[in-house]
């Protein structure tokens, strides 16, 4: 998506450790007009009428998921990072290792918000090694729901997540795929 690539080139900052900072428009301050265009694009990429739920993970996926959901007339469920798992059986749980914080979180979704009749589109801001998306897929599987696809704002194509998911036959569509980025020069190339 050209608009997003241009914005990443203009305002993205490459940090050491393969981290792309886009907090001026994507995941701290949020450019809602850009999100609208991204939402429209996700709808074009996932035209299936079956999609009835958008699933993301807190915190930075929520904004994009909410704007996107308007184009699907579907509610958004966000998986919550939880300090203590409540073992009352009322929630699906999984573990996700955070790419940016290098720690493992327990992540939960209440059973009442995800079930076997759901056709789920997973949305997130970044795809790196694929841990976050793999955890969300695990929650969808636990619920017996159907994964219709995965929509990502920015995929870092030089990391393994996209390849691993696509190899499993999951439909992954990323609006911008970064091919390479250099923390010293700040140069970013796209696939
Ligand atoms: P993964 O689980 O695919 O390794 O990483 C995806 C998650 O880590 C995303 O939910 C995102 O919040 C965060 N993340 C991964 N790479 C980056 C990055 O380069 N920049 C930012 N801002 N977040 C990232």
* Residue recorded with tokens 């793999």: 134
Ligand 1 center to 88 CA (angstroms): 30
Q: Are strands 146-156 and 76-82 parallel, antiparallel or unpaired?
A: unpaired
What's the confidence (pLDDT) of residue 88? Answer: 76
- Average pLDDT in the 129-136 region? 97
pLDDT category, 168, cuts 50, 70, 90? very high
- Average pLDDT in the 46-66 region? 97
Closest approach atom of ligand 1 to CA 19: 19
* Residue recorded with tokens 């720690």: 103
- Average pLDDT in the 106-128 region? 97
What's the confidence (pLDDT) of residue 2? Answer: 97
The predicted-structure confidence for 69-101, as pLDDT tens digits, reads as follows: 999 999 999 999 987 667 677 999 999 988 888
Work out the percent of the chain whose per-residue pLDDT is above 70.
97
List strand residue ranges (DSSP E) for the chain, in order: 13-15, 19-21, 53-57, 76-82, 91-97, 104-110, 119-127, 146-156, 172-181, 188-190
What's the confidence (pLDDT) of residue 87? Answer: 66
Dihedral sign for Cα atoms in the order 17, 23, 25, 30: positive
pLDDT category, 172, cuts 50, 70, 90? very high
For the chain, the average pLDDT equals 96
Find out whether the beta carbon of 63 lies less than 6 Å from any atom of ligand 1.
no
pLDDT category, 109, cuts 50, 70, 90? very high
Closest approach atom of ligand 1 to CA 27: 22
What distance in Å separates the CA atoms of residue 36 and residue 32, rounded to the nearest whole number?
6
What's the confidence (pLDDT) of residue 183? Answer: 95
Find out whether the beta carbon of 127 lies less than 6 Å from any atom of ligand 1.
yes
Find out whether the beta carbon of 130 lies less than 6 Å from any atom of ligand 1.
yes
Closest approach atom of ligand 1 to CA 132: 2
Which of 132, 153, 158, 177 is the best mutation target for the ligand 1 pocket, counting ligand atoms within 8 Å of the beta carbon and taking the most? 132
Closest approach atom of ligand 1 to CA 161: 3
Ligand 1 center to 85 CA (angstroms): 23
């Amino acid at each position: 998506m050209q608009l997003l690539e241009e914005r990443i080139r203009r305002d993205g900052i490459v940090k050491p450790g393969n981290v792309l900072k886009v907090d001026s428009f994507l995941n701290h301050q949020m450019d809602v007009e850009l999100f609208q265009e991204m939402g429209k694009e996700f709808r074009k990429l996932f035209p299936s009428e079956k999609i009835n739920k958008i699933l993301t993970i807190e915190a930075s996926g929520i904004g994009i998921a909410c704007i996107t959901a308007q184009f699907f007339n579907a509610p958004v469920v966000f998986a919550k990072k939880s300090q203590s798992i409540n073992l009352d059986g009322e929630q699906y749980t999984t573990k996700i290792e955070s790419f940016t914080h290098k720690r493992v979180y327990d992540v939960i979704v209440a059973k009442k918000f995800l079930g076997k009749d759901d056709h789920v589109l997973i949305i997130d801001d970044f795809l790196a090694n694929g841990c976050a998306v793999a955890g969300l897929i695990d929650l969808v599987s636990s619920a017996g729901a159907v994964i219709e696809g995965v929509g990502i704002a920015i995929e870092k194509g030089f990391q393994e997540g996209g390849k691993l998911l696509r190899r499993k036959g999951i439909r992954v569509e990323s609006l911008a795929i970064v091919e390479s980025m250099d923390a010293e020069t700040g140069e970013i190339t796209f696939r």
